[in-house]
Amino acid sequence: MSLDKIMNEAISPWMKGDGPDSDIVLSSRIRLARNFKKYQFSTMQNEEETKQIQELFKKEFINKTVEPFGEFELLKMNELTPLQRRVLVEKHLISPNLAGTEYGACLLSESEHISVMLNEEDHIRIQCLFSGLQLSEALQSANQIDNWIEKEVEYAFDESLGYITSCPTNVGTGLRASVMIHLPGLVLTKRISRIIQVIQKLGLVVRGIYGEGSEALGNIFQVSNQMTLGKSEEDIIADLKSVIQQIIQQEKMARELIVQNSSIELEDKVYRSYGILANSRLIQSAEAANCLSDLRLGIDLGYIQGISRNILTELMVLTQPGILQQYAGGPLGPEERDYRRATLIRERLRIEKN
């Protein structure tokens, strides 16, 4: 695996799979926050300590194979251009916070479904991504990487509290489980606000596709647990999975309601968006995301034939500003990005139909 391959292949291998409930659930993510006993928290570290953690990982974990994940590549933020960092964020391989650090780094697996972020808010954050609703499978992989790392380093751990983290909400298991979910039915029936309120009352958090502070582009929402103290990993996963399954049922009911009561209006909306995507010469990110959401809904409901439902996930990534500029070989102005975005979508749809 090379940096060029990571940068030039916008779609990570894990994104190409179809997991359970993938008509509504796009992906599942597990993130484990860990700190090393011998170092201060990342927020209090000096430059020398952050470099020591990078060197530790370079020495102990690079060019070593972990089955079934293969070898890992170490990407140092200060060796990447701002555009390369942005691409990693848009592929969901690192957080926006890590991209903004000078001495952060990322240990990335060949399949790109596992990344270990170094010197972010915590010393390490182990992230594992799976397609569809596969929280238990993602946790199993994350724990395997966690055990691999713990053989070489001693974590900051308290017998009564659990894993010690820089943010109090992560103390305990250090586990953040999240699901990316496509909810156009609940948005169109104007039920989404009530659903979000219920989710929040259950102690869960709803965010946009890039986490805290981001907006829900293309009717895609990220639902995750908030607190980890006092709960086991299994309980956190079971609670979140139960809520997600209820949301899936609510979304299916909303879609059925629209088909029953507003079928021609929905079909018109789907085909209008399809027409925009297939014919536009300029299109902005937000409009593209909304039209792709409509197209995905039309595919799921059988209005549109001959196009894979994975096109939403694929084109949502491919048409992000950083990846567009990476393909172009350098910076692009807003109108140039809109032109290239429209061109890419048209070509991708044409290939799909042929």
For the chain, residues with pLDDT lower than 70 are 1, 209-215, 354
Residue 191 counted as an annotated binding residue:
no
**CA 313 from chain center: how many Å?**
10
337 assigned ligand-binding residue: no
**pLDDT for residue 345:** 95
pLDDT value at position 256? 96
Q: Is 31 annotated as a binding residue?
A: yes
For 289-304, write each residue's pLDDT tens digit.
999 999 999 999 999 9
The response to whether 29 counts as a known ligand-binding position is yes
272 carries a ligand binding annotation: no
Q: Indicate the domain borders of the chain.
A: 3-181, 262-353
Domain 3-181 has CATH 3.30.590.10: yes
172 appears as a binding residue in the annotation: no
Where does residue 301 fall: left (phi above 0), alpha (psi -120 to 50 degrees), or beta otherwise?
alpha
Backbone angles phi, psi at 280, to 5 degrees: -65, 145
Q: What pLDDT is stored for residue 210 in this prediction?
A: 59
**pLDDT 10s digits, 131-183:** 999 999 999 999 999 999 998 889 999 988 889 988 888 888 999 999 999 99
Residue 193 assigned as binding residue: no
